[in-house]
Amino acid sequence: MNRQYIKNLSYIFSKPLPLKVLRSFSGENFIFPFYHLVSDTAPLHIKHLYPVISRQRFLSDLDFLLKYFNPATIDDVLNYVGKGKKSEKPLFFLSFDDGMRECYDIIYPILKQKGVQAAFFINPAFVDNKELFFKHKISLIIEKLKSINGRHVISGISGILNAPNIHPGRLTGSIRQLGYANQAEINKIGEICACDFNGYLKKQQPFMTLEQIKELNSHGFHIGSHSFDHPEFRKVDEGQMRLQVSKSMAYLAKNINPEAVTFAFPFTDFEVPASIFNYMHNEAGIDITFGTAGIKKDPEIKHIQRIPMEEAGMKSAERVIRSEYAYFWMKLLFRKNTITRR
């Protein structure tokens, strides 16, 4: 039974109940929804990665959240952590990952108009469009492959993947599996497909500039770290994890100097060892860290789990939030609603 099916089932079970009851039974009054970008057209570098939320959907999401929760500030988040992650009031705090250009062009004006504060978690390697995220390259490659049928291209890619007998229909799936450690292979495949990554960066400018980020900060929006260049932490060693943290923190200290020091794990915090949390909170001086596991108990007192809002099949914030609360109950029955770490 896949996760999406369970979440849809959770939503159906939750529909007869008022949201206040769902909140009360869970004890989780403070929620942390997060997005990447908002756009009426899916950019090609995102198109094959995850669903893109439209402007109208985002406005509807905000209306729902503002109806049932109070908008929080970063100070509220700090107080929440200071009180052992307890909140009597129903609160929400938005965040946005990856520092996409649409955060400045679309999201920022909407949040200002609504009077809602939020956090923007950035990767210094991508600021000012210096580099393209490897996942974005994969999306561009997949889009390019839709218009390429040449055997030499398929043969060349198969060779790079070390899968000479791979069926062309499985090629896209194999490319999707490439990760942070496979960036050389991703670049080679891009060359074979005639993907001009540098040209795309220059023309489309998918990321915010430092000046835009500073403007967000000056208008009361929080800026935090999302690692230096977005690896999946469980797939790199602890030395690399520490380097990702220290480099990104040094960049923020130099260019933003935020009052609160925060870090949102790229991809997920799944299988990140307790020693890294100890390093981040006790040595690196990070006030709060964030994950992506939805509404879930977490033993790390300075670590908060956020709710992904861009899940396939979830057409509204109401559907996402209701399913999260109901899913939390279901996991509670099997004692699966608390994260364990080693």
pLDDT of the residue at 163: 84
Boundary residue ending a domain (166, 185, 201): 201
Q: Does 178 reside within a domain? A: yes
pLDDT by residue for the chain (342 residues), tens digit each?
567 777 777 788 787 888 999 998 889 999 999 999 999 999 999 999 999 999 999 999 999 999 999 999 999 999 999 999 999 999 999 999 999 999 999 999 999 999 999 999 999 999 999 999 999 999 999 999 998 877 888 899 999 999 877 877 789 999 999 999 999 999 999 999 999 999 999 999 999 999 999 999 999 999 999 999 999 999 999 999 999 999 999 999 999 999 999 999 999 999 999 999 999 999 999 999 999 999 999 999 999 999 999 998 899 999 999 999 998 988 877 777 888 887
Do 157 and 239 lie in one domain? The reply is no
Do 232 and 329 lie in one domain? The reply is yes
Q: For residue 97, what is the domain's CATH number?
A: 3.20.20.370
Q: Residue 333 is encoded by which pair of tokens?
A: 């029955």
Q: Does 340 reside within a domain? A: no
User: How many domains is the chain built from?
Assistant: 2
Q: Does 22 reside within a domain? A: yes
Q: Does 190 reside within a domain? A: yes
Do 118 and 147 lie in one domain? The reply is no
Q: Does 91 reside within a domain? A: yes
Do 240 and 187 lie in one domain? The reply is no
For the chain, where are the alpha helices, taking DSSP H only?
3-14, 19-26, 55-68, 74-82, 101-102, 108-114, 134-145, 151-160, 171-176, 183-192, 197-204, 210-218, 238-255, 274-278, 317-333
Boundary residue ending a domain (201, 233, 251): 201
Do 183 and 232 lie in one domain? The reply is no
> d(Cα 147, Cα 139) in Å, to the nearest integer?
14
Q: Contact 17/293 with Cβ under 8 angstroms?
A: no
Boundary residue ending a domain (178, 201, 224): 201
Do 182 and 268 lie in one domain? The reply is no
Do 242 and 314 lie in one domain? The reply is yes
Q: Does 140 reside within a domain? A: yes
> d(Cα 337, Cα 17) in Å, to the nearest integer?
20
pLDDT of the residue at 218: 98
pLDDT of the residue at 80: 98
Do 85 and 157 lie in one domain? The reply is no
pLDDT of the residue at 15: 79
Do 122 and 41 lie in one domain? The reply is yes
pLDDT of the residue at 126: 99
Do 163 and 275 lie in one domain? The reply is no
Do 268 and 303 lie in one domain? The reply is yes
Do 127 and 26 lie in one domain? The reply is yes
Question: Whole domain around residue 148: which residue ranges?
Answer: 134-201
Is this prediction's pTM over 0.75?
Answer: yes
Q: Does 171 reside within a domain? A: yes
Kindly give, in sequence order, each residue whose CB lies less than 8 Å from that of residue 234, ignoring residues fewer than 6 positions away: 268, 270, 271, 272
Q: Which amino acid is at 160?
A: I
> d(Cα 268, Cα 246) in Å, to the nearest integer?
18
pLDDT of the residue at 1: 53
Q: Which residues pair with 289 in a beta bridge?
A: 263, 303
Q: Does 338 reside within a domain? A: no
> d(Cα 331, Cα 9) in Å, to the nearest integer?
13
